[in-house]
Amino acid sequence: MSVKKIVKYGTPSLREKSKEVHKISKKIQILIEDLFDTLYAQNGVGLAAPQIGENLRVFVIDTGTDQKTMNPLTFINPKIIKKEGAVNSYEGCLSFPEAYTNVRRYKNVKIKALNEKGKPFILEATEGSLLARAIQHEFDHLDGILFIDHCRNRFEADKILMEKGLNPIDSDYILDEKDLETEIQNNTQQQEGKKVD
């Protein structure tokens, strides 16, 4: 349908909780098309409705890199029903042009949602894959949570944001993820141990 302007970090609506979708109306179908058009125009992996100015519980993901591997996935009213393990990775977001920082994520997630036709489905993404991380990142957008809230090193994250002309992180939003951090550190030690053996 059309490529939309992406709502940038600093806009208050990115921090709002989005509303459930009650009916897959024409408006929702157009929203989904706009999300994909905008995602592909930006070469992104995922995009959530609040990022194009609609605070509704819808996001899209495509981890494909070309036409052959294209895999457009639509998630409406999603619920994460299982999360386990921990990984760290560099992440970015289309609402934060060119800013990447190290964040904590679950390694495995299982999500339940409706597809673009309103049909329920369950999807599991494991091993800290790009899909597993994208699901968590986009799901967060529906609750007004941004990837920087999961940062492992606040000073590093603030430095990157300020270099890109963006505001530093508001302390109120930083998430307490001690369990995830402990698991990430244990995993790192185990991996280092393996190398020594």
CB 28, min distance to Ni ion, A? 20
Residue 127's alpha-carbon distances to 51, 107, 133, 151, 160, in angstroms, are: 27, 5, 10, 20, 27
Q: Which is nearer to Ni ion, 76 or 93 (CB)?
A: 93
Cα 100 to Cα 132: distance, rounded to the nearest angstrom: 18
Query: Could you say which of 54, 116, 138, 177 is catalytic?
Result: 138
3-state secondary structure of 94: coil
Q: Which is nearer to Ni ion, 107 or 133 (CB)?
A: 133
Q: Which is nearer to Ni ion, 48 or 184 (CB)?
A: 48
Q: How big is the site for Ni ion, counted in residues (CB under 5 A)?
A: 1
Q: Determine if 125 is a binding residue for Ni ion (CB under 5 A).
A: no
| 60-65 long-range Cβ contacts below 8 angstroms, 24+ apart | 60/32, 60/35, 60/36, 60/138, 61/131, 61/134, 61/135, 61/138, 62/36, 63/129, 63/130, 63/131, 63/134
CB 183, min distance to Ni ion, A? 24
Cα 161 to Cα 62: distance, rounded to the nearest angstrom: 26
CB 63, min distance to Ni ion, A? 14
Q: Which is nearer to Ni ion, 24 or 147 (CB)?
A: 147
Is the Cα torsion angle 170, 42, 22, 114 positive or negative in sign? negative
Give the position of tokens 């125009």. 41
Residue 138 annotated as catalytic: yes
CB 146, min distance to Ni ion, A? 7
Tokens of residue 96, six digits: 């934060």
Site string for Ni ion, 71-110 (x = CB under 5 A): ----------------------x-----------------
The contact set with Ni ion (CB under 5 A) reads 93
- Active-site residues, by number, are 138
